Structure 1
């Protein structure tokens, strides 16, 4: 209801809700999913709901639907055009919930649209009839979108009573479910991703409702398990093996807390985990950016429509645990949690969305939240955990800054990440200390071809608007311009009032470091939230060297 109040005054002349930041047309289309939440409130009478049969909301919903028929490609669907599974599913949800409230002409237009869309989707899905390996090369898109298209095709076919389409889809759905990794993820463009696995899980759960086969139910349970195991204690995904420059950018925002909820009823701890996510959602809904994406309203409607299978008298709580996949994992002990990856980047020529897995780890403390941001970039070696540099100061071939493989080793503290690169090897020991501190001891050993310069880069949780205190005692507010004080190597600790960072060697600091994002570059749009504070330490390239980094929780 709060999202609807937020959206109503932001509806533009053609009927579209324009929610900042309107990154591109697809972001605008995604925000039209508020219509699913409107349909739910219009047709459900419950305590505190002021929108039951509300005429203003009904008119607003209808204008958005007409916008999507015209501008969103739903009236004249084209494979590869603006018709996208999420945008189409919202219109189906509206018809199923509030079809009787729609004017006859609009209802007829939606029926015609849905039949045309189903024909286009059926054509698309037939391209996958013989697919046995499921990834971005064989599906022409990421597996999260493939599950989305499969889900909307199945839901639409069931809605329209097209049994022949359902019979075509069932074998493909079972094969797709069985392609799931043992940890519960589907390969995206290069191995697992955390946010995208939740997206895949959500749509796979919808497919399991249409085809409740043993394979799909088993896959739903595994996907829910992945979400619970590979998350931080606040329910957010461990982004160190993710594909977004920012795991929490406004495409998803609060939606990530509800992605995957359709699978939770198949897991023994699923309802308790859902109760935990709802509690977390209540805490963050009051933030200034809570409704930068209205897509979450569709997932809230999904939850409410399935609430009987998601109710729980208990709430899930984070606990000490280890979870490992092939080349990635997470370890939680006490207040500290590490997410790590040492996956080799696949060489997929022609795939503009392939992932350079440059960041080795993310780090969490219960009082401070995320103290090291580990989200990955695309083709940007200067922001990887390690960066190899040439004499001229330019960055070397990106491949020199990408891991070729690695593993987690048991040992003191949380354990160690042992990882290989083309020209050096590294061992990172994570060692909790008394008083809310953690020491990261990084040992690097050159091998093979000589390097001219090697940097270790750490993305700290100092963000836009934070007040940072230097070792000199000087304080500054991080804003649009990099303060002069941060251009010289720092010799002592710095903090933002929440966490203090120090290194055994002088470190250079860069603010604001604005990373490249293939999702934003076409619009050349950058937001303050994109900026990173990066601390960089020079390492010896001629012999083995060690550096210790230290974080103290001070809040």
Structure 2
């Protein structure tokens, strides 16, 4: 036990010295924002209830539909000048009928039918439903009609007696939520024995926490699942005041803050349950009871609050009911440079603006469970402007995602349509490590990974404004096929190679050698150096454990660079950098900021997510006209930047009624950008000029003939080169 606490202290020191910017950075909660989010959803929740049955939502109905009773109960109980629903009879009636519907759906043991696709319904005591139900009861019980209160109490006791009987099992997320709910039920229904049993279970939960601040389901972190433990302990602390859980909440808050990219998305490379996704966790009440956690909450909700966007009523209700308050530590993962080491040197997060890198040395055998991903992809790289570049989490039956493999990677794969694959097949392929060693003794970290008799090394060799270099090295070569893999996340638009080759990646398999590609590829703002001997493979698909047939969408596939080793000591450098910026000289006019009309009465719309202005044309001849200001008379190169997409047509530009440039085909099999397209050189006089954008045709592959313009640019040129003259428009 003493060693356990020593390790935990080491982790906290590493986190705090490297990442915390100051003592405080604001306070939590933003009460007005929370109350507003709660209040604005009440009318919709009430409208979704069937007055005859008390059930919320549509069909098929499940007990989780009744979770609406908790935000309604918090709205009913919250006195605030901006809350018109406080002590509303209509709201109280809806809550009572909602709980009555739960009673009516219970069996004699208090369980509800839980529908399962393609299988008979299970009978479950869903802890998430019971915890919301008992919290709603605690808020409204003194105002309930006697008959309804008696029904609720009978139903709650029936269910919680069953929950108590099954509580003493292993520490898991579901059991933790059950214990929290049982504690609340013990308070509300005057059952001290339930409170004592729940407190014992939650003490076991605290003791089971890894010193790094997470709870393992199999081995190592599972970021999303970990949130369930944090939430349950946070609600329990708010209800009990049991300070013995605060250290666990503190460690959990620091762990989650350290495992974020600068944009607030999770570092999936250390996660054994989820691949990378672009959703920002906004935390839960468990974070609100420590300064570190409140800093996490402020950082993760900052974008929503700044944009005036509401959070869910469920979140707001939980925070208003159970949330802590006070000063917050400054946001994490926003420093210029720093390093966090997790666990007993199990992972490192290295920050050197604008780059952030994660190495993972978490190591365990392949699990037979479909939900537990193989710990195979151990390197992730993020750039502030480009987002997550490579890595992006783990999979199953996909050796091409592994940082190194020994043997033929094609020996293990998921066969399309196989609903019961063997996740631990008999094979001599090695795709998960047998031992990992993290070296953080120098300024730049390195990761050494053993696969039985072969050992590879990944080291960070440079990270600065101009680029980042990783080196993949064969340390020990045992004579078998041995290769490294660098999995790149799918990006938008075309792959452009140094050789001049350009391709869109689709469902079709593709393989490119370094001889075909040249020294680099560019992809949506990213340039990657391609070492001699490397090959690129597409698509390396994920296995989707949540689909019965395991099929994952193409957007989760990776473009994998394979680096083959022939001997020990061989090393491949992989250079990453932003694409060098284009020539930005001249005067830029964003299309969205210019006056625009349509003489053909076509639909016009600004597309803020694409930074463009759309002409929703339906046929050739549809057009729009921009009014372009020119401040200085002279000769200019006239350039336009467009969006390309499957529904876009062929467009002809004109200047004050005279066509300029060649027709441009804006069709692409996926959303892309054209980059600067020159329409030639023009002579312009000071004043405003009409820029016509007309549909002149349609690619046979295009589904429509829209066009979307991002910007116009005027680059000054010597007057002698002018090829056209345009007086100021009248």
TM range (shorter): 0.7 to 0.9
Q: 1:49/1:363 Cα in 2 relative to 1: closer, same or farther (>3 Å)?
A: farther
1:488 is aligned to 2:512 = yes
Contact 1:370 1:461 in 2 (8 A): no
1:277 is aligned to 2:277 = no
Pick from 324, 329, 333 the counterpart of residue 352 of structure 2: 333
Q: Deviations over 1:48-67 (max 9, x none)?
A: 65766789977877776566
User: Which runs of structure 2 are paired with 1:206-355 in the superposition (5 Å)?
Assistant: 206-248=235-277, 253=279, 256-259=281-284, 261-265=285-289, 267-282=290-305, 297-306=313-322, 309-312=324-327, 315-317=330-332, 318-319=334-335, 320-326=338-344, 327-346=346-365, 353-355=371-373
Q: Which stretch shifts more, 420-429 or 466-475?
A: 466-475
Pick from 377, 387, 393 the counterpart of residue 359 of structure 1: 377
Pick from 417, 422, 432 the counterpart of residue 402 of structure 1: 432
**Distance in 2 between residues matched to 1:17 and 1:386, nearest whole Å:** 48
Pick from 151, 154, 164 the counterpart of residue 180 of structure 2: 151
**1:18 CA displacement:** 6.7
Q: 1:10/1:467 Cα in 2 relative to 1: closer, same or farther (>3 Å)?
A: farther
Kindly tell me the number of residue pairs found equivalent between the two proteins: 511
Contact 1:455 1:537 in 2 (8 A): yes
Q: Deviations over 1:367-425 (max 9, x none)?
A: 23322243222454343233444397556838710011212213666321122122421
**Distance in 1 between residues matched to 2:159 and 2:75, nearest whole Å:** 26
1:175 is aligned to 2:204 = yes
SS at match of 1:470: strand
Which one has a larger percent strand, Structure 1 or Structure 2? 2
1:508 is aligned to 2:526 = no
Contact 1:413 1:432 in 2 (8 A): no
Instruction: Point out where structure 1 has 5 or more consecutive residues left out of the alignment.
Output: 129-137
Q: Which stretch shifts more, 215-224 or 77-86?
A: 77-86
Q: 1:91/1:537 Cα in 2 relative to 1: closer, same or farther (>3 Å)?
A: same
**Distance in 1 between residues matched to 2:200 and 2:409, nearest whole Å:** 56
Contact 1:69 1:75 in 2 (8 A): no
**1:163 CA displacement:** 0.3
Q: Deviations over 1:159-206 (max 9, x none)?
A: 222101112233332233122222112222112222322321221222
Contact 2:407 2:429 in 1 (8 A): no
Q: Which stretch shifts more, 182-191 or 32-41?
A: 32-41
Pick from 560, 567, 582 the counterpart of residue 535 of structure 1: 560
Show the counterpart of 2:458. Answer: 428
Contact 1:185 1:192 in 2 (8 A): yes
Instruction: Point out where structure 2 has 5 or more consecutive residues left out of the alignment.
Output: 1-36, 114-121, 414-425, 582-730
Show the counterpart of 2:403. Answer: 385
TM, length-normalised to structure 1: 0.77
User: Which runs of structure 2 are paired with 1:461-472 in the superposition (5 Å)?
Assistant: 461-462=490-491, 466-471=492-497
Show the counterpart of 2:577. Answer: 552
**Distance in 2 between residues matched to 1:109 and 1:495, nearest whole Å:** 65
Pick from 59, 73, 76 the counterpart of residue 110 of structure 2: 76
Contact 1:342 1:407 in 2 (8 A): yes
* Larger relative contact order (CA 8 Å, sep ≥ 6): 1
**1:119 CA displacement:** 0.6
**1:436 CA displacement:** 4.2
**1:116 CA displacement:** 1.5
Show the counterpart of 2:74. Answer: 40
Q: Deviations over 1:27-46 (max 9, x none)?
A: x7667545433433354354
**1:122 CA displacement:** 0.4
**Distance in 2 between residues matched to 1:284 and 1:70, nearest whole Å:** 42
**1:247 CA displacement:** 4.8
Pick from 368, 372, 375 the counterpart of residue 393 of structure 2: 375
Which one has a larger percent helix, Structure 1 or Structure 2? 1
